[in-house]
Structure 1
Amino acid sequence: MTRPAPRVVEALNAALHRLFEERSSLHLLGEDVLDPYGGAFKVTRGLSTRHPERVLSTPISEAGITGVAGGLALAGDQAIVEMMFGDFAALAFDQLLNLISKSVTMYGDRMPMPVVVRCPVGGNRGYGPTHSQSLQKHFLGVPNLALYETSPFHDPYAQLVEGLDGGPAMLFEDKVLYAQRMFRDGVVDEHHGYALLGGPTGWAHVTPVDGAAADVVLICPGGTAHRALHAARLLRARGLVAHILVPARLYPPDLEPVLSLLADARLVAVAEESTEGGTWGAEIAAQVHTRIWARLRAPVLLLSSADSVVPTAPHLEAGVLLGAVRIADEIEATAARPLPLHAPAAPLVAAGPETAGTVAGEPRAAEPEGAEPVVGVPVAVPKLNNNDTAYVVLQWFADEGAHMDEGDPLVELETSKAVEEIAAPAAGYLRVRAAEGSEVGVGELLAELLTEPPAAPALTASAERVAALRSAAAPVAPSAQEPGPAARTHVLDRAQQGTAAVVTRAHREVPVAFAAVEVTADAVLARLRTLSDETGAEVGLPEAVVKAVAAAHPAFPHLFGTLVDERTVRLADTVDIGVTVDAGNGLYIPVLRDCAARSLADISDDLMDFRMKALRAEFTAGELSGGSLSVSLNTEPGVLFVQPIVMAPQLCMVSVGGPLTRFVLTDGVPTSATVVTLGLAYDHRVVNGRDAVAFLRAVADALHDAEQLVKLVD
């Protein structure tokens, strides 16, 4: 049986043990680094037992610790300093700047300074403003001081060796990485592989396994690597291919091995967790611009956390720190071409009286008799989601007659669940054909982009004609049904109208059957509490159910398909699961992407982001579409079970009830147990009861069977 790759903390610990065996003059200094504690994050575990005279637990004085390390180096020894939290490296800044780094060259001859200062950094653990920062940018540009960052791709032994031999150096270790496993043998997951460019302390180049060329090259340090991978999956679903570059050494950077890759990309972006302003990304951008400006198609896009302290509350912390969804959204918005979710995939074809054009595969009705002919490049209403057939024009971003470039923001449309921005599919002068506030159907004409400025606005006549047509076609309600002056009414908002349309279609079109099982949840709830403490992520039953459902995909692929016609089911390549979110202002079903390949902590981060977006009603259509199966989360205590609907063209929806207490007999003794009801609504045209029950049992087993639970969580 192949042993799993070590976790990053284990790789760091093994590297330190190896270095202490090889280097008799090496010392380690830090607070609480002695066994059995082994440091705040257990990186130094076992070292003091094997090398008691060279591992020194020090008083709480970061400046003092670092000064002693510098003295050891000047005396001919070697030293590694552990900052309990990287935030406290600010207290050692004077020693690093004015003693250790200057001592290399200020005595006439070049002095070896084999000192490495290790700094656990980063947020997403709920540790608050003074224990969650990424301070890398504050040490950039210090003469003779090299900066490294751990990553799941690079052997920390090679980083420490290079840091000591070429010292002084700092090694930044993102705390969230400690629990993640190293990647090895060039494999990231079923969708991505990697290769090292420029040697063991060079760049990890992450590419899709299908060999697709890069639209975007995303550069990020190791602590951001998993978020970058998530963003790459999101971008692939939106039609953009992202390659990822992860350096072992942050500063000084060696761009030579990756320059040709950067020059060939449509867009280069840098993502890091440091707050904006004076960042490592700005340093990378400056060097890229200097080296290959003539070959770049756009300036380097810089992505960093918000200009803020890092809050303790998880939902506020997530709003400050750079996350995968924001990385993907900003890259998508900055990409040099209109994207499928923001503009029709191809321009609308002007049609004669006998034919109609199409937009993104949707039929467009012929213009009404007497309508003005379409000229220039038409801009038609794209299909933004499966719930709606019409949207509201919120606002135009340019005036009638303004010149637009391809990709410029053109108009904002409101769906029942989101607000979507439509980009100009070509360059030209804007001629508006749909007024702000009007409702437009899929395929209808929004505007035209003309080669010459329009002679006169066309909006008024067009809007009046559309209004007249709709008025003539609208049925007149009987007066007896109109509420009187004293009648009390409740008017459904657009979000609820969208929900109504979806459930009406589901009940009308899908022959739904239902099955349910009860699963004992004590073991999984206990393991999730431990995992939350270990990772700092708020991991609960919803995340575990999503992972358990995703784990059942290989055995039940047809349950994750979509119905193409009466006899054909399109199977899903990745497990993209929709989850119900209701913050009191409408029901949303955003989609968690590639759930099988991602950790529970990653899924937890996305669910937290979804809850905040539901509260603010700011989902994009892309986040609400593309799921292969949905999960209805109703995990409040006391909820027995919920019978969900099936979201056509999906075939299944899983429901999760709340935890309930049951008394069961264990060896003849009554004991209490926590149980949860799992339900499955399924399209009986494709799925039969036998498969439905087997699927539910597989999900239940993953949640309570000890061996499967370990696989699910790890």
Structure 2
Amino acid sequence: MATEITVPALGESVTEGSIGEWLKQPGDAVAADEPIVSLETDKVAVDVPSPVAGVLSAHQAEVGDTVEVGAVIALIEEGATGAATKGEEPARAQEKRAEGEAKRETASEELSAAAQTLSPAVRRAVLEHGVDPSTIKGTGKDGRLTKEDVIAAAKAKSDPAPAPSSAPAASAPAPAATGERREERVKMTRMRQTIAKRLKGAQEQAALLTTFNDVDMSAVIEARTKYKDMFAKKHDIRLGFMGFFAKAACLALKDVPSVNAYIEGDEIVYHDYVDISVAVSAPNGLVVPVIRDCQDKGFARIEKDIADFGSRAKEGTLTMADMSGGTFTISNGGVFGSLMSTPIINPPQSAVLGLHRIEDRAVVVDGEIVIRPMMYIALSYDHRLIDGREAVTALKIIKEAIEDPTRMLIDL
């Protein structure tokens, strides 16, 4: 009996996606709830699991095809046995499963230790074939690993090298360098296409302007150093800088509500809550999951939300619901070493706060030149809605709250 696999509901207002990668091929055994295909939407990659155990009998769509919600994309022969396990004795099958699990555990440990960022498809291939990604030379863009690199490495690992001949052969001359220059054309993922359209649309539709300030991070660094161990022990989460900036932003948005609003048609939509979108780097591009009701959350809850989003972004398990909404965005380019930037707003929002790296600089305090840990901060905003005075005021409130964190405790 064949079971149809259809495109699931992908989120509010999302009616279609595209086939990103087939995780199972025709003839492969499939367990119930095991992912068989990765779908790409405008915002996330979604793994579609099989509702039944059996064998994948056919693909009904190819990689890159656009498929609508409800469309049939695969057929599963329920209860059938995969070709890879047919005819095996139960003991041998169990032994193979045990070997596979051991390989996956080893690969998982090696994968965690690897310094490079791997795409979900490459991570799955590493775990499946049990190879160490740090020993493989990537052939993708900027030296990144591809799925084909992992498969080739696994094949080379399983095929023994030929025995050396007893008589040494004449060494062949090394091939002369040809100076060949190569190009690689890679189709943009659906997510990258959407990011490009949204950011370009923001530039074309909004009247973008950026105001800057600099912040003395001494007080926050001192508080973090003093309380980080107690904080981690009590809340089981590291105390970072994003929690301070999120709470400082809440103060600013409360006092300057237009920065937390957006334009819809000929109306301005104001919010009495603060849902902060946090820009997070993912294998397929930048994503912006939302910390909801940030104005009511403490530092520990905010830090846990951010850590959870970062982890799930790398794993590719963020959902559409995680990224829907948002009234204001914080983007931290400082983690990559950025000194200063002009961030682009995340439509339909009207403002985004850009954070940058902290570095010791000479500044004048009370008439004396001193060395302080300083950070440039930037607020890009839609000048159609937010006046310069409001933007500067909001950024100044954030600066003052960071330089004197007590303000966040007594709501100043």
Structure 1 match to 2:351: 652
> Alignment partner for residue 577 of structure 1, among 256, 260, 276?
276
Q: Which amino acid aligns with 1:621?
A: M
2:190 paired with 1:564: no
Contact residue 638 and residue 660 of structure 1 kept, 8 A: no
Cα distance in 2, alignment partners of residues 500 and 418 from structure 1: 15
Deviation at 1:690, TM superposition (A): 0.9
Cα distance in 1, alignment partners of residues 193 and 238 from structure 2: 33
Structure 2 match to 1:700: 399
- Mapping 1:490-639, distance limit 5 Å: 490-491=185-186, 493-494=188-189, 495-536=191-232, 537-565=237-265, 567-583=266-282, 585-636=284-335, 639=338
Contact residue 9 and residue 70 of structure 2 kept, 8 A: no
Structure 2 match to 1:689: 388
TM-score normalized by structure 2? 0.58
- Mapping 1:280-359, distance limit 5 Å: none
Residue 253 of structure 2: SS of its match in structure 1?
Answer: coil
Structure 2 match to 1:663: 362
Cα distance in 2, alignment partners of residues 541 and 508 from structure 1: 33
- Mapping 1:394-543, distance limit 5 Å: 413-420=39-46, 435=61, 437=63, 439-440=65-66, 446=71, 487-491=182-186, 493-494=188-189, 495-536=191-232, 537-543=237-243
Deviation at 1:675, TM superposition (A): 1.4
Residue 606 of structure 1: SS of its match in structure 2?
Answer: helix
**Where do 5+ consecutive residues of structure 1 fail to align?**
1-378, 398-408, 424-433, 448-484
Deviation at 1:646, TM superposition (A): 1.1
Contact residue 262 and residue 385 of structure 2 kept, 8 A: no
Q: Which amino acid aligns with 1:553?
A: L
Residue 183 of structure 2: SS of its match in structure 1?
Answer: coil
Deviation at 1:568, TM superposition (A): 0.8
- Mapping 1:183-332, distance limit 5 Å: none
Structure 1 residues 667 and 648, CA gap change in structure 2 (3 angstroms): closer
- TM-superposition CA deviations, 1:49-100 (whole Å, max 9, x none): xxxxxxxxxxxxxxxxxxxxxxxxxxxxxxxxxxxxxxxxxxxxxxxxxxxx
Contact residue 248 and residue 401 of structure 2 kept, 8 A: yes
Q: Which amino acid aligns with 2:326?
A: G
- TM-superposition CA deviations, 1:562-599 (whole Å, max 9, x none): 3221x212222421111111155421111111111111
Considering Cα pairs closer than 8 Å and 6+ residues apart, tell me whether 1 or 2 has the greater RCO.
2
C-alpha root-mean-square deviation of aligned residues, in Å?
A: 3.6
Residue 664 of structure 1: SS of its match in structure 2?
Answer: strand
Deviation at 1:666, TM superposition (A): 3.1
Aligned length: 276
Percent identity between the aligned chains? 26
Question: Looking at CA atoms only, which structure, 1 or 2, has the larger radius of gyration?
Answer: 1
Deviation at 1:625, TM superposition (A): 1.5
**Where do 5+ consecutive residues of structure 2 fail to align?**
1-5, 25-34, 50-59, 73-179
Cα distance in 1, alignment partners of residues 15 and 339 from structure 2: 36
Structure 1 residues 392 and 667, CA gap change in structure 2 (3 angstroms): closer
Deviation at 1:698, TM superposition (A): 1.0
Cα distance in 2, alignment partners of residues 685 and 416 from structure 1: 27
Cα distance in 1, alignment partners of residues 372 and 64 from structure 2: 56
Structure 1 residues 652 and 665, CA gap change in structure 2 (3 angstroms): closer
- TM-superposition CA deviations, 1:653-691 (whole Å, max 9, x none): 110111122212334332111111111111111111111
Cα distance in 1, alignment partners of residues 187 and 407 from structure 2: 45
Cα distance in 1, alignment partners of residues 378 and 350 from structure 2: 14
